[in-house]
A and B are shown apart, each in its own frame.
Chain A
Amino acid sequence: MAKRGRPTRAAASKRALKGVDVDAVDPLTVLRQIASDTSAPASSRLAAAKALLAQGGRKKDGGDGSENDRISARALTLLKGGKR
């Protein structure tokens, strides 16, 4: 007789992901959900908020490009003669 009890991690993941379109998962949406979930632990919300800030904080509009990352933004400032 097969041993019964807690399902293995693989079996639990398989059941949890059943019917979920993995390709449609947007990492930024997941981060936003965690950051705005007041029932989540504060450390999780803070980590999600930090990750969102590193990505520019907001939804990018239209031509999503590297201009929005920190290095490119600083580089454009330097190109325009700005001093940092």
Chain B
Amino acid sequence: MNENDRIPRVGEYRGVGLHDNQSPERLAVVKRELDSVLDLADATLLVEIVGDVTWSPEARLTAAAKLRAMHQIAAEDRKSRPMFDLAYVVACTAALDSRYWRSPWYYGSLLDPGRGPHEAGPVPRPSPLADDERGAR
């Protein structure tokens, strides 16, 4: 990813950067989700989180990084790889750290699937992002 396209950070929590344009209340939710993800070691649950648009982008990116780390460490230790599709994980999180692709209406990416029937869907922003905050070209 182009470094200029990365979403600016407003701080860090447990080593994970926090995206800008979020209220203190929203950041508290993100921190709670990061706690959950960082304490989780189950690959199946992490894959669920990666594909779940109701979780914050920071938590989903962290879950994806943990899954990639699991894969790398298994390869280095010459152990059997964990049973998940790494391409799916990358596809779910590819645009979550992109200014251009971030959704102006939701905490997520424009490439995320929308809300399905009987689903909570992505968390809406209190006010839409302006074009310059999205890095629109």
- Residue numbers of A with Cβ under 8 A of B are 65-67, 69-72, 74-80, 84
Contacts and interface: CB of A to CB of B under 8 A. Distances in A.
A77 B65 CA distance: 9
Given A67-B14, A71-B73, A74-B72, A79 B65 contact: yes
A74 B72 CA distance: 9
Nearest to A78: B65
A75 B65 contact: yes
A65 B15 CA distance: 11
Q: Which size bracket describes the interface of B in this complex?
A: 10 to 19
Given A65-B14, A67-B15, A70-B73, A75 B62 contact: yes
Nearest to A72: B38
A64 to B, nearest CB: 11
Given A72-B66, A75-B68, A84-B72, A66 B16 contact: no
Contacts, number: 46
Nearest 8 pairs between A and B by C-beta? A74-B69, A75-B65, A75-B66, A76-B15, A75-B69, A78-B65, A66-B38, A79-B65
A84 B75 CA distance: 12
Contact of A79 (B41, B61, B73): B61
B66 to A, nearest CB: 4
B70 interface: yes
Interface string B64-106: 0110111011000000000000000000000000000000000
Interface in B42-72: 61-62, 65-66, 68-70, 72
Given A65-B14, A79-B61, A79-B62, A71 B39 contact: no
Nearest to A73: B69
Contacts of A71: 41, 66, 69-70, 73
Contact of A78 (B14, B41, B68): B68
A76 B16 contact: yes
B114 interface: no
**Max count, chain A CB within 10 A of own CB: residue among B14, B17, B39, B69:** B69
